[in-house]
Amino acid sequence: MTTSTAPKTDERVAQAGFFRQLFQRPEIGALIGAVVLWVFFALVTPQNWVSINGLSRIMDPASTWGIMAVAVALLMIGGEFDLSTGVMTGTTGLVAGLLSTRAGWPLWVAILVSLVFALIVGYLNGFMVIRTGLPSFIVTLATFFVLRGANVGVTRLVTDQVYVGGIDKTVGFDSARLFFNTPITLFGVEWRSSIIWWVVLAIIASWILMRTKFGSWIFATGGDANAARNVGVPANKVKIGLFMTTAAAAWLVGTMNIVRLRSAVGSQGIGQEFYYIIMASVGGCLMTGGYGSVIGAALGALIFAMAFTGIPFAGWDTDWYYTFLGVMLLVAVLVNNYTRKRATEMRTAAAKARTED
């Protein structure tokens, strides 16, 4: 190496130009994926896809998935998994539904109690992970099965069926629906207000992650919890807070579902927990924690909503959706691994050049 140490460095900064910086961002894969998939369906089924109606059809599932993917991404960056997120969207809806229809509580009170319940479960998830030192995969898998059983069991005990109907007849339903999930007609088609929630929450979460000290703490906790503790980061509190965040997001989505459908179903959300994890991975979150992007996860949700909507639009069997999920997960993990390695190696070479004569 003929590189001298200090003075020549500025020209190397110039080399790290706009595109290189862009390609080092974790969400770039999801952005490219979203564009490619949109163009793909635009070519396959242009008459349905390239329209305002097509867009609103995509944004509808993208919004609730996106809210979950954003919270799950924060947790994954913090180094943990939560397998109880999907079933929790059902549990929170059932809690609010049963309290309002069977106990006769005003819907708003039932919804707030359901939030408290979700936060307690999230806290317990985090507490058990920290106390036992077991992988969060195992702890939250247990939570998943407990809730899955309780969802159906409690509902059947109370109502003799696995379904709670008549939520629209409770006190405060209209205002709750307006607040959480209302149809809005714009450009001649119907949009859900959950889309606004999704966009706003993604922006707030991204701001917290990138611009506040809590964001630094999340990255640090997921990157190396011990090292983080050594410099005074409250890593345990961060983890518990993140588990409570995913539970709260599940409450929000669960509430959106019941005010939209006017009922709650015992089987709601089962299996969706893996969607959220895949969306976050597609968005650039490493499975091992410490790295990722909230905006990427929101884009990951958009990609899956496109596949979910586009496959029936194209007239294909919807079974293929799951195959698509699997392929996307594999591609995402490989791409994440590759880009991270590549960025690291390029920079290591530069560091060596600096310290060798």
Answer for which of 106, 172, 223, 312 binds other proteins (CB under 8 A) is: 223
CB of 20 to other proteins, least distance (A): 11
Q: Which residues contact 335 (CB under 8 A, 6 or more apart)?
A: 29
Paired tokens of 52: 């305002």
User: Which is nearer to other proteins, 211 or 237 (by Cβ)?
Assistant: 211
Question: How many residues lie near other proteins (CB under 8 A)?
Answer: 38
State yes or no: residue 224 binds other proteins (CB under 8 A).
Answer: yes
Q: Which of residues 249-268 bind other proteins (CB under 8 A)?
A: none
Whole-Å CA distances, 231 to 20, 79, 85, 177, 209 = 32, 18, 31, 46, 19
What size, in residues, is the chain?
A: 357
Q: Both tokens of residue 50? A: 């390239």
The 3-state DSSP class for residue 102 equals: coil
Are residues 256 and 268 in contact, defined by beta-carbon separation less than 8 angstroms?
no
Residue 211 makes contact with other proteins by CB under 8 A: yes
Q: What is the C-alpha separation between 219 and 168, in angstroms, rounded?
A: 42
Q: Using alpha carbons, select from 3, 32, 44, 56 the residue that is nearest to residue 312.
A: 44
Q: How far does Cα 140 stand from its chain's mean position?
A: 16
For other proteins, which residue of 17, 133, 188, 232 counts as binding (CB under 8 A)? 232
Q: Are 67 and 311 in contact (CB under 8 A)?
A: no
**What is the nearest approach in angstroms of other proteins to the Cβ of residue 198?**
21
Q: How far is the CB of 78 from other proteins (least distance, A)?
A: 12
Residue choice 169, 237, 342, 347 for contact with other proteins (CB under 8 A):
347
Q: What gap in Å lies between CA 67 and CA 305, rounded to an integer? A: 13
341 binds other proteins, rule: CB under 8 A: no
Judged by CB under 8 A, the residue of 10, 160, 317, 319 near other proteins is 10
Nearest approach in angstroms of CB 333 to other proteins is 16
- Other CB atoms within a 10 A radius of the CB of residue 345 amount to 10
Considering the rule CB under 8 A, would residue 185 count as an interface residue with other proteins? no
Applying CB under 8 A, the span of 92-100, 185-193, 194-202, 208-216 interacting with other proteins comes to 208-216
Interface of this chain with other proteins, residues 267 to 306, rule: CB under 8 A:
286, 290-291
CA–CA gap between residue 166 and residue 168 (Å, rounded): 5
Using the rule CB under 8 A, is 186 a contact of other proteins? no
Q: Per rule CB under 8 A, is residue 6 in the interface with other proteins?
A: yes
Binding site for other proteins (CB under 8 A): 5-6, 9-10, 12-13, 16, 207, 211-213, 215-217, 219-220, 223-224, 226-228, 230-233, 286, 290-291, 343-344, 347-348, 350-352, 354-356
